[in-house]
Amino acid sequence: MKEHMFVSILEKGGIGLLVFIVLIAIAFLHYLLFREYVSQEKIQEKRIKDMEKLVKIEINRSRSLNNQVDNLSQIKEKTQDQLDLIKLQVDAIDKGSKK
């Protein structure tokens, strides 16, 4: 008797109701999936922006180090020129005192 009632309910539109419920469930799952996608997209955009900031910081640090190396090279070159000049002066003094 219960089986006959169940079949009777399905025949009277129960299948339509089940189809409707399944469609609602699928739509809800799509909504949840889309919401999660949007959330992950925002997280990924934030990560990309943070990485861009880190890259800019590293570029500035690298430029600063490069400038410091250039300055040290110039100082070294000037110092070497001065040492060479002092050496020539000392050699000239030694030659002058030997005569």
Distance CA 10, CA 3 (A): 11
Give the number of other CB atoms < 10 A from CB of residue 38: 10
Instruction: Compute mean pLDDT per 10 residues along the chain, 99 residues long, and list them.
Output: 58 74 96 97 97 97 94 95 93 79
pTM exceeding 0.85 = no
CA distances from 14 to 5, 68, 69, 93, 98 (A): 11, 81, 82, 117, 124
Provide the 8-state DSSP code for 11: I
